[in-house]
């Protein structure tokens, strides 16, 4: 039971970090404010580190992370729709803040629903939540 819950939290952590990194990659071509682009690039690198750590945890349990082309396509469509008429820095910053807030919520739900998860998964998820909260604060200046 504990292993399954650990795996569930690691999967959600990986999904959150992977999606955030992909979203930033898709947004960077639309960002013209250099300072904002730099902030996004730094965040993307951190998200990739979180993704790798979660994948390493999953591999310890013999779970191979799966790729979903459908999820990436949905993300791309969402970003295109969200930036179709407005690519201003404040608007894009708002989209990223909303995405980070959803990510925090999803991670907290995963932790709550998998209380028996081990310390590695819980600490990694908590670290990602803290990082996303910090990102929100840093992005507020671009609104």
Give tens-digit pLDDT for 97-116: 999 999 999 999 999 999 88
Asked if 64 and 121 count as a contact pair (C-beta separation under 8 A), the reply is no
Instruction: Provide the domain count of the chain.
Output: 1
* Per-residue pLDDT tens over the stretch 8-27: 999 999 999 999 999 999 99
Q: In whole angstroms, give the CA distance from residue 109 to residue 32.
A: 35
CATH label of the domain that carries residue 21: 1.20.1260.10
- Report residue 118's pLDDT band, with 50, 70 and 90 as the boundaries: confident
Asked if residue 51 has pLDDT above 60, the reply is yes
Q: How far is CA 103 from CA 2, 12, 17, in A?
A: 23, 9, 9
Identify the domain containing residue 118 by its residue range.
Answer: 2-142
């Amino acid at each position: 039971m504990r292993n399954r819950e650990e795996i569930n939290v690691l999967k959600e952590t990986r999904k959150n970090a992977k999606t955030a990194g992909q979203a930033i990659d898709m947004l960077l071509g639309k960002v013209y404010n250099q300072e904002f682009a730099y902030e996004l690039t730094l965040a993307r690198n951190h998200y990739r580190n979180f993704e790798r750590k979660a994948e390493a945890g999953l591999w310890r349990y013999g779970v191979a992370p799966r790729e979903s082309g459908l999820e990436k396509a949905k993300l791309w469509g969402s970003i295109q729709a969200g930036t179709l008429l407005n690519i201003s820095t404040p608007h894009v910053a708002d989209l990223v803040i909303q995405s980070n807030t959803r990510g925090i919520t999803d991670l907290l739900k995963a932790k709550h629903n998998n209380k028996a998860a081990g310390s590695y998964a819980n600490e990694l998820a908590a670290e990602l939540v803290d990082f996303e909260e910090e990102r929100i604060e840093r992005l507020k200046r671009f609104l």
